[in-house]
Structure 1
Amino acid sequence: MPGNANNEQHWRGIAQRYEQEPGPINLENGYFGRMSRTVQAQYLEHVGFINRSNSLHVRQRFERGDNDAIRCQLAELINADPQAIAFTRNATEALQSLIRNYNRLQPGDQVLISDLEYDTVKGAMRWLAGYRGVEVIEIAHLHPASFDSLVSSYREVFVQYPRLKLMALTHVTHRTGLVMPVHTIARAAQAHGVDVILDGAHALGQIDFNLAELGISFAGFNLHKWIGAPLTLGFLYIAPERLADIDPDMGECHYPSTDVRARTPYSTPNFPALMTLPWVLEEHRSLGGAAAKGARLKYLRDRWVSQVRSLPAIEVLTPDDPRLYCGITAFKFSGRDQQMMVDRLLKEHGLFTTTRVGTAFGTCIRVTPGVVTCVEDIDVLINAITQLAKD
């Protein structure tokens, strides 16, 4: 087992770095992550400073170099050229900018989405139909999913629809935590002349990856989920050699057309949050980065899944193939109203989870531990599911 994934003393020490409100056990850490006490203190200090200095600091310091230095530190996180990334408010904004401004589509071309994509990404791809005259191809993946079935589904689509030019692909699906075989799918897409826009919202901070090795030229990410940044921080990535394939956003003129930052709307950002990012990245590294966080989250996931997968009336929807899962996993109570069961988990067992919808298997319950989650919390979940399955 990698590193300290099962070292409870080590992770209890890490949990002490975060403030937690008394109450139910939070197993819905996929919405957004916590800031540590250190990051929160820095953020609040920057809020006060920017409020006091107002535009003086922003105009004279931040816009004249500080933001570039922060951008360079962020680029190190994904081993990218700083000229390949632009700050956004979140992954959704980044992905919408990439989809909206992708300029290689002609009327009659086809674009591809699956049932596993984030709803806003689906909406943006469907928007292309009305504004670019393209046809949207939608597929639903087989359940249960396997590495081969996922890859085959795309290879079949690429052959069936030769006019495909662009596709959305989610690295870690927000509904079930399924990790897509991005490298293999992207390689097949490239062989058929299909560009991939990658949704990395849940991957960054949970999974070690190299965008160049994955064969990805366009991607959007969050920094507030698994990296530990304040809300309102995300970024987009465009491989420098592909910059010309994404137009400046609606004639964006604050940056030259040769600058990646012209590919997303220019606005007044959350300056204190951006100024806090160096502390966020340093803390992420100090925890061991995605390798350590991901191993810990998978350990916690394996602990509960191994105990409930064989229970009658319980269906775990995320496969156990280590290539296809991370810390997030979804399940369902067979023949039950899943929202009612989420409510019972909360009211009867003090466990906060959430439902997800939009796939062939219907509504599911998503369980997402975090870096503050301990094995005792997971054991409460195991006991709760076991009891409720008997009802």
Structure 2
Amino acid sequence: MQPTDENYWHTIAQRYDLEPGPINLENGYFGRMSRAVLEQYQEHVAFINRSNSVYARQRFEQGENVEIRRQLAELIGAEPEAVALTRCASDALQALIRNYNRLQPGDQVLISDLEYDTVKGAMRWLARHRGVEVIELAHTHPASFDSLVRTYREAFTRYPRLKLLALTYVTHRTGLVMPVEAIATAAREHGVDVILDGAHALGQIEFNLAQLGIAFAGFNLHKWIGAPLTLGFIYIDPTRLADIDPDMGESHYPATDVRARTPYSTPNIPALMTLPLVFQEHRLLGGARAKGARLNYLRDLWVRQVRSLPAIEVLTSDDPRLYCAITAFKFRGQVDQQVMADRLLNEYNLFTVTRSGAAFGSCIRVTPGLATSAAEIGVLVRALTELGALTY
């Protein structure tokens, strides 16, 4: 399967039901389920509603849930003892941050302007409740592989009381892919632990957590894997489990079980029951290698045609190590990027989303999906070319 084969990817797109309306270039919020997954999910909803706790207590909790957890661990090349299901990456990351027990008053923790707001909030919560100091970096723009690594190395030297770093693998604002392995290596040299936000990485980037040097991470299954909403998971290296406390005294599982690190609650059982099919479809499609290649091709298709336009500033690097499906841009000379996102929608039927909070200001995020065609990317190129000529 070639990422440029429109006929092949058209057959893949046919597996998804699309609501009539704008061309969706905001596939980063959450991913679609395939028609087969959706139908199975709906069947499971009806079945669980009929059987209620009889099935859940007798079969799901005692057997099927264990197998699902095994398959989940297999997806990332980990042992089942290293993962626990959560509702989303945010839940997993909050649990890791609030239960990390190696901090003392006066220690420092590190975030950057590109972290997810929930993660920023959790790290600031540590400052209020643990007496630590939050160090906040603003990344230079445009970023390069070397500049990103240098920024963190300089921070580790400048702030010797640093103990914990929140690091986003794929930043949600611009799609910048962080050089995780190099940063984690530098962090380890200075005795700094890393909690990795892998929400957008899983499913479009191939990685090995052990090779990356990551002991703590949170992921989503409903973005690029194709699962129903409300599914994510936490990863903790079993050799580091003791450094994360059971969540608020959680006692449904023993302290030696990673599942004690998340809140105990009734899960979305019908959604969990679909995961074996979700994992099977992901593998048959070629996994992250095939998905990532297609998404990167669609990204390159528009970026390479508009980067030279005077009116357009593409904010994400073209270094293949530093980008994926998501890429952000802004219209030069426009104070309010939302005005331009509205024009993309109203005049060209293109749905995008604005993002703010980074040092470079607001931007427009473009995220193709597996159902996006090259022809639809062509509409985006025409829109940016025409709007740029009118507004700059």
Task: Give the TM-score band, short-chain normalised.
Answer: over 0.9
1:66 Cα deviation after fit: 1.1
Corresponding position of 1:355: 354
Overall identity of the aligned pairs, in %? 76
| CA distance in 2 between partners of 1:277 and 1:335 (Å) | 46
1:312 Cα deviation after fit: 1.1
Moved over 6 A (4+): none
| CA distance in 2 between partners of 1:15 and 1:198 (Å) | 31
1:156 pairs, out of 142, 154, 157, with: 154
Corresponding position of 1:313: 311
Deviation string, structure 1 residues 350-391 (Cα, Å, up to 9, x no partner): 000000001111000000000000000000000000000011
Instruction: Specify the SS of the correspondent of 1:272.
Output: helix
- The answer on 1:367 being equivalent to 2:343 is no
Deviation string, structure 1 residues 160-193 (Cα, Å, up to 9, x no partner): 0011000100000000000000000000000000
1:247 Cα deviation after fit: 0.2
| CA distance in 2 between partners of 1:234 and 1:62 (Å) | 18
Corresponding position of 1:205: 203
Corresponding position of 1:64: 62
Corresponding position of 2:377: 378
Instruction: Specify the SS of the correspondent of 1:357.
Output: strand
Corresponding position of 2:139: 141
1:332 Cα deviation after fit: 0.3
| CA distance in 2 between partners of 1:213 and 1:152 (Å) | 20
Equivalent positions of 1:290-369 (< 5 A) are 290-336=288-334, 337-369=336-368
1:4 Cα deviation after fit: 1.2
Instruction: Specify the SS of the correspondent of 1:86.
Output: strand
What letter matches 1:40 in structure 2?
Answer: L
Corresponding position of 1:250: 248
Alpha carbon RMSD of aligned pairs, Å? 0.5
Corresponding position of 1:37: 35
| CA distance in 1 between partners of 2:200 and 2:258 (Å) | 23
| CA distance in 2 between partners of 1:384 and 1:175 (Å) | 21
What are the ranges of 5 or more consecutive residues in structure 1 without an aligned counterpart? none
1:286 Cα deviation after fit: 1.0
Corresponding position of 2:222: 224
Equivalent positions of 1:145-184 (< 5 A) are 145-184=143-182
Deviation string, structure 1 residues 311-339 (Cα, Å, up to 9, x no partner): 01110000100000001100000111200
| CA distance in 2 between partners of 1:300 and 1:182 (Å) | 24
Instruction: Specify the SS of the correspondent of 1:365.
Output: strand
What are the ranges of 5 or more consecutive residues in structure 2 without an aligned counterpart? none
1:65 Cα deviation after fit: 1.7
2:124 pairs, out of 126, 146, 149, with: 126
Corresponding position of 2:235: 237
| CA distance in 2 between partners of 1:135 and 1:360 (Å) | 21
Corresponding position of 1:288: 286
| CA distance in 2 between partners of 1:87 and 1:98 (Å) | 13
| CA distance in 1 between partners of 2:332 and 2:360 (Å) | 11
Instruction: Specify the SS of the correspondent of 2:357.
Output: coil
Instruction: Specify the SS of the correspondent of 1:363.
Output: strand
| CA distance in 2 between partners of 1:297 and 1:106 (Å) | 43
